[in-house]
Amino acid sequence: MKRPAQMSNGFTLVELLVVIAIIGILVGLLLPAVQAAREAARRMSCSNNFKQVGLAIHNYHSAYRQLPIHGVGTGSPAGGAAPFGVVDATTDWWTNYGDSNAWRLSALVGLTPFMEQQALWDELSNPSFVNALAPDTPLSVAWPAMGPTVEFIQYRPWVTELPMLRCPSDPGAGLPAQGRTNYAVCLGDSIDWSIRGPKQHQVARGGEMVSDSTSARRSLAADRGTFVPHKDAKFRDILDGLSNTIAFAEILTDLGDRDTRGIQSINGNPPDEIRLNPSYCIDNNQVDPDRPRFWAPTTPTENSNNGRGFKWADFRPNFSGCHTILPPNAPIGGGSSVGETGMFPPSSRHQGGAHILMADGAVIFVTDSVEAGDSHHEMVWLTPADLTSSPGSQSPFGLWGALGTRASREVIQESLNQ
């Protein structure tokens, strides 16, 4: 008697290979979508952080009837002067650590109690015996209230990372940075005097910051952003309207890879080349033609611990400031001296642009292709002989420059929220 044929219950080798191939194709199709979804989530988180910063600014203004001062702090009769660094020593302890912060604190420092960082503010605003390098061993002499100059990693507040100031898309972490920030104050559409403002340090006045005629005139001419170093500012000073004026912008932090957005090139000091031509670095072949996001191997750059966004508490433009001259993600046009001089556009690790925070609290994503006028035009500064670059001139940098100025009376004809 013939036995019936047995039915196979498994896959043949060909069928198994076909299934594996289909799964591989599906994974290949889905992976970019998953990555895009993750970046969209990170970008949304970044936007939410920025909205919290905007809320902190408005709460600060409600409490103190002014914006937090950019370039605030304490001075010393020993002779240390903003913006140039460490205060001279007066005792053995101060020989190592300084007796004031030399008027170098950023506007972010004043915002800490309004960003859910009351404990950090309490440590900042009072003498502290904590050594961040040996927290279990109290110091014998306390840090001064409001701390020493910002470069000291022994002072715990200066090396504290604040989650609200970090973009999830930015991978920067750890030394040589201290506490990083991805959000920076808007200093306007000119680099002239954006490290000084209207006041200068006066040793004879006990280390105070005092206005002088030259500084005041140059600052009035060129410091056209929402924040002016060492100067009080209020919302009423923003004559162009809060919804038409940038208060903060996003910046990436340096990864030590010579990214043109993360470390500045070194040119003249003062940086007349950049002031007269914002595209000087590009025009003079300082960018690597084979890798246009990086400086050419022969281009001199700042040292590694002065990268973009490295010190959240330092008011110098390289660390916590930005300009609306070249559009987002353009190369930094550097002078010299640790970020004291130079042009610092906004930037980000997001694709195609960066977030900006308007003075009314709105967060907008601005693309790299924003209308930015003439990228070779001289900046506005105190040049009475040149009417196109003198005080009161219309921003030469188009819509982008107009958004960065607080009182130039330029009409904004585009909807930024579309």
319 neighbors 342 (Cβ within 8 angstroms): no
Q: What residues contact residue 174 under an 8 Å CB cut-off, 6+ apart?
A: none
Q: What residues contact residue 183 under an 8 Å CB cut-off, 6+ apart?
A: 49, 50, 53, 108, 165, 248, 249, 250, 251, 357
Residue, of 388 and 363, whose pLDDT is higher: 363
Tell me how far apart the 2 most distant CA atoms of the chain are, in Å.
120
DSSP letter at 413 equals -
| pLDDT tens-digit map of 102-131 | 788 999 999 999 999 999 999 999 988 888
Q: Which residues pair with 213 in a beta bridge?
A: none
In the chain, the percentage of residues whose pLDDT exceeds 70 is: 83
Burial of 409 (0-12, 13-18, 19+ CB in 10 A): exposed
pTM of the predicted structure, to 2 decimals: 0.85
Select the highest-mean-pLDDT range: 93-97, 176-180, 247-251: 247-251
Residue, of 314 and 99, whose pLDDT is higher: 314
Q: What is the pLDDT of residue 85?
A: 36
100 neighbors 76 (Cβ within 8 angstroms): yes
Query: Which amino acid is located at 10 in the chain?
Result: G
| CA geometry: angle 46, 49, 50, nearest 5 deg | 90
Q: Is the peptide bond before 270 cis (omega within 30 degrees of 0)?
A: yes
Q: Is the pLDDT of residue 215 over 50?
A: yes
Position 350 confidence tier, pLDDT thresholds 50, 70, 90: very high
Burial of 91 (0-12, 13-18, 19+ CB in 10 A): exposed
Q: What is the pLDDT of residue 205?
A: 53
Count of Cβ atoms closer than 10 Å to residue 183 Cβ: 27
Mean pLDDT, the chain, as a whole number? 83
| pLDDT tens-digit map of 64-93 | 999 999 988 887 655 444 433 344 433 333
Q: What is the pLDDT of residue 128?
A: 86
Please report the DSSP string for 96-149 in residue order: HH-SS-TT-B-HHHHHGGGTT-HHHHHHHTS-B---TTSTTS--SSPBPTT-S-
Torsion angle of the four alpha carbons 39, 175, 341, 79, in this order, in degrees rounded to the nearest 10: 140
Nearest to 180 by CA among 106, 97, 253, 80: 253
Q: What is the pLDDT of residue 67?
A: 95
Q: What is the pLDDT of residue 206?
A: 52
Task: Point out the least confidently predicted range of 173-187, 337-351, 352-366, 368-382.
Answer: 337-351
218 neighbors 390 (Cβ within 8 angstroms): no
C-alpha to C-alpha distance for 99 and 97, rounded to whole angstroms: 7
Task: Point out the least confidently predicted range of 138-142, 227-231, 398-402.
Answer: 138-142
Task: Point out the least confidently predicted range of 88-92, 275-279, 307-311, 377-381.
Answer: 88-92
C-alpha to C-alpha distance for 192 and 278, rounded to whole angstroms: 12
Query: Which amino acid is located at 275 in the chain?
Result: R
DSSP letter at 184 equals E
Q: For the residues 387-401, what does the mean pLDDT come to?
A: 83
**SS3 label, residue 158:** helix
Q: 199 vs 77, 216, 234, CA distance in Å?
A: 16, 7, 18
Q: For the residues 321-346, what does the mean pLDDT come to?
A: 83
Residue, of 223 and 8, whose pLDDT is higher: 223
Q: Is the pLDDT of residue 132 over 70?
A: yes
Q: What is the pLDDT of residue 80?
A: 46
| pLDDT tens-digit map of 148-160 | 888 888 889 999 9
Burial of 225 (0-12, 13-18, 19+ CB in 10 A): buried
DSSP letter at 17 equals H
Position 387 confidence tier, pLDDT thresholds 50, 70, 90: low
**Matching residue, tokens 């060492």:** 230
Nearest to 198 by CA among 71, 284, 309, 296: 71
Measured between its terminal Cα atoms, the distance across the chain in Å is: 81
